């Protein structure tokens, strides 16, 4: 239990640090993390709904499909990075029981963040932030 809380805090603080470093935004709550336009806000809400009803892998697949489709537009690319970070932060807030019940794990949340960061050229930053956990 304590280890679970520790991992949740570490992952959340990693997302918060990444957002501060890349987007120059400090966030304490999910609402503050979501500084997105209307279209990306709607997409994020669809991802959240799927995750909330236990369709985490489906939501993650939808996220990656969107990342692949919009990787040509620099501005859209950065918005997609924000959406991905917000999505994994949401998953991180779920209990281990909920994640396991829906064939997901806290480690997969961490791996998802690392994968997205690597995709956007920030892989070393994610590795550095996770190094000292």
User: What does the pLDDT read at residue 105?
Assistant: 95
Question: What is the average per-residue pLDDT within 64-88?
Answer: 80
What sign does the CA torsion over 20, 26, 30, 33 have? Answer: negative
Instruction: Show Cβ contacts of residue 55 under 8 Å, excluding neighbours closer than 6 positions.
Output: 102
For the entire predicted model, the pTM comes to 0.82
Higher pLDDT, 36 or 117: 117
Domain with 54 in it: 2-131
What are 12-57's pLDDT values in tens digits?
Answer: 888 888 877 877 666 555 544 555 556 678 889 999 999 999 999 9
Q: What's the Cα-to-Cα distance from 27 to each of 20, 105, 113, rounded to whole Å?
A: 8, 24, 17
Lookup result for tokens 């050229």: 121
User: What does the pLDDT read at residue 14?
Assistant: 80
Query: What's the CA angle centered on 34, arms 38 and 99, to 5 degrees?
Result: 115
Q: How many domains does the chain have?
A: 1
**pLDDT at 69 > cutoff 60:** yes
**pLDDT at 1 > cutoff 70:** no
């Amino acid at each position: 239990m304590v280890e679970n809380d520790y991992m949740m805090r570490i992952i959340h603080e990693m997302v918060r640090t990444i957002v501060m470093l890349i987007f120059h935004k400090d966030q304490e709550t999910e609402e503050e993390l979501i500084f997105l336009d209307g279209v990306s806000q709607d997409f994020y809400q669809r991802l959240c709904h799927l995750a909330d009803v236990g369709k985490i892998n489906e939501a993650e697949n939808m996220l990656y499909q969107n990342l692949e489709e919009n990787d040509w537009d620099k501005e859209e690319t950065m918005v997609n990075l924000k959406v991905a970070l917000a999505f994994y932060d949401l998953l991180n807030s779920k209990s281990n029981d909920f994640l396991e019940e829906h064939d997901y794990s806290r480690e997969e949340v961490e791996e998802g963040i690392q994968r997205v960061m690597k995709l956007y050229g920030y892989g070393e930053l994610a590795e550095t932030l996770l190094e000292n956990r």
